[in-house]
Amino acid sequence: MKKKRFGLSMSLLLTAGMLLGGCGQAKEEPKKEEGKASEFSVAMVTDVGGIDDKSFNQSAWEGLQKFGEENGLKKGKGGYDYLQSQSDADYATNLNKLVRNDFDLIFGIGFLMPDAITEIAEQKPDNKFAIVDSVVKKPNVASIAFKEHEGSFLVGVVAGLMTKTNKIGFVGGMEIPLIEKFESGFIAGVKAVNPNAKVEVQYAGAFDKADKGKAIASSMYASGIDIIYHAAGATGNGVFSEAIDLKKQDPNKEIWVIGVDRDQYEEGKVPGTDKSVTLTSMVKRVDVAVYDLATKTKNGNFPGGQVVEYGLKEDGVGIAPTTKNNVPEDVLKKVDEWKQKIINGEVKVPTTRAELK
């Protein structure tokens, strides 16, 4: 009987020792720090333009790459990544795939994606999403918007000071509120420095009709307009094409194009010369916005259900660095003066034609 009790006591002691040992080992295991970058992953779905579109998708991916590299993440699952869409039908499929791969924040790039983001956000209320250049009113979606009117005002100042004919053109893609912001801000900038200048406005009705853009530009330049600002996507390629053709015919002809969304200096290069018909470009820093929102989310400050706007103050819009190639220093100083006035709140830039009036 005593032997049995002794054996039982030893068993209990051994069991207790193992449990205590196990507890001791558990305490020695390093705990993961909450919010550490290695625990955070982020990805994006491109629209049909693709990752090398020299526009929104490319800029967004550059911002995501910068965030990933600065936070020690690797490209791929568990780090930072992207999925490319070949058609509108791919949007929801690609968003779902990234959800299944457990990315903490998923971006949808471009104003064509709100329906897909809305659908998947409703299905996956515990996941975090962000959309660029559109608004989705869901608690788990952050909407990124830009103050295009502020950047457009600055290139308007350039146009107003650089025109020789006092005739300036604006070519829009589709007549929608987003493009109205470009138009209104641009005209306000022109009029602020040159009240005598006239701005002719035409819309192509599409963002992918280069031939329509070329035809509109041909008519405008023939009427004496010497500077055209386009906010027309690929339709704007036609504006560049027409300006380049006219410049090749007459190298002394002073006509210009103002680019949009990114620095379009290269798009304006005249073959066989070192010249470009690109006067300046209004850039939207999608890379800055994506980087900033990813950082906020990693730090526990995800702005779900909110619209986050990026303007001059946030370095979200502005004029391209190559502006100095064709614009003199005195004009650049004037641009900077107006920029500071907008940032300081001294000037409120209109977003609609009604506000412009």
pLDDT tens-digit readout, 39-48: 899 999 998 8
Residue entry with tokens 């993961």: 32
pLDDT digits (tens, 9 = 90+) for 120-168: 999 999 999 999 999 999 999 999 999 999 999 999 999 999 999 999 9
The whole-number average pLDDT for the span 98-109 is 97
Residue 19 burial (10 A CB sphere; 0-12, 13-18, 19+): exposed
Q: How confident is the model at residue 305 (pLDDT cuts 50, 70, 90)?
A: very high
In this model, does residue 28 exceed pLDDT 80?
no
Can you give the pTM of this predicted structure? 0.81
The whole-number average pLDDT for the span 326-343 is 98
In this model, does residue 205 exceed pLDDT 70?
yes
In this model, does residue 20 exceed pLDDT 50?
no
In this model, does residue 34 exceed pLDDT 50?
no
Q: How confident is the model at residue 17 (pLDDT cuts 50, 70, 90)?
A: very low
In this model, does residue 10 exceed pLDDT 60?
no
CA angle 91, 287, 82 (to 5 degrees): 35
The mean of the pLDDT values for the chain is 90
pLDDT digits (tens, 9 = 90+) for 225-270: 999 999 998 899 999 999 999 999 999 999 999 999 889 999 999 9
| Predicted pLDDT of residue 25 | 41
Write down all domains in the chain, each with its CATH number in brackets.
Answer: 37-146+287-310 (3.40.50.2300), 148-283+327-356 (3.40.50.2300)
* Percent above pLDDT 90 for the chain: 80
| Predicted pLDDT of residue 337 | 98
> Two tokens at 101?
């791969």
Residues 290 and 191: their CA atoms lie apart, in Å, by 33
Residues 80 and 40: their CA atoms lie apart, in Å, by 9
| Predicted pLDDT of residue 38 | 53
In this model, does residue 74 exceed pLDDT 80?
yes
Distance between alpha carbon 325 and the CA centroid of its chain, in Å?
24
Residues 174 and 231: their CA atoms lie apart, in Å, by 9
